[in-house]
Amino acid sequence: MPRRMKQQADVAVTDGRRLRGDKSRAAILARAVNVASTEGLGGLTMGTLASDVGISKGNISILFGDKETLQLATLDAATEIFVTKVVTPALRLASPLERLRYLTDGWFDYVDSRTFPGGCLLYGTANEFRARPGRIRDRANHHRTAWIRLLTATVRDGQEAGQIRDDVDPDQLVFELTAFQSAANTAALLGDQPAFVRARRTSRECIAAAAGRPPARRKNPE
What is the contact surface with its own copies in residues (CB under 8 A)? 37-40, 42-43, 117-119, 123-124, 126-128, 130-132, 137, 140-141, 144, 165, 167-169, 171-173, 175-176, 178-180, 182-183, 185-186, 188-192, 195, 198-199, 202, 210, 218-221
Smallest distance from the beta carbon of 195 to its own copies, in angstroms?
Answer: 6
Q: Which is nearer to its own copies, 103 or 189 (CB)?
A: 189
In terms of phi and psi (left: phi > 0; alpha: psi -120 to 50; beta: otherwise), the region of 65 is: left
Residue 51 Cβ vs its own copies, minimum distance, rounded to whole Å:
20
Q: How far is the CB of 53 from its own copies (least distance, A)?
A: 21
**Cβ distance to its own copies smaller for residue 39 or 112:** 39
CB closer to its own copies out of 52 and 61: 52
Nearer to its own copies, 29 or 170 (CB): 170
Nearer residue to its own copies within complex by CB, 63 or 206: 206
CB of 27 to its own copies, least distance (A): 22
CB of 106 to its own copies, least distance (A): 19
What does the DSSP assignment read for the chain? --HHHHHHHHHHHHHHHHHHHHHHHHHHHHHHHHHHHHH-GGG--HHHHHHHHTS-HHHHHHHH-SHHHHHHHHHHHHHHHHIIIIIHHHHT-S-HHHHHHHHHHHHHHHHHTTSSTTS-HHHHHHHHTTT--SHHHHHHHHHHHHHHHHHHHHHHHHHHTTSS-TT--HHHHHHHHHHHHHHHHHHHHTT-HHHHHHHHHHHHHHHHHHTT-SSPP-SS--
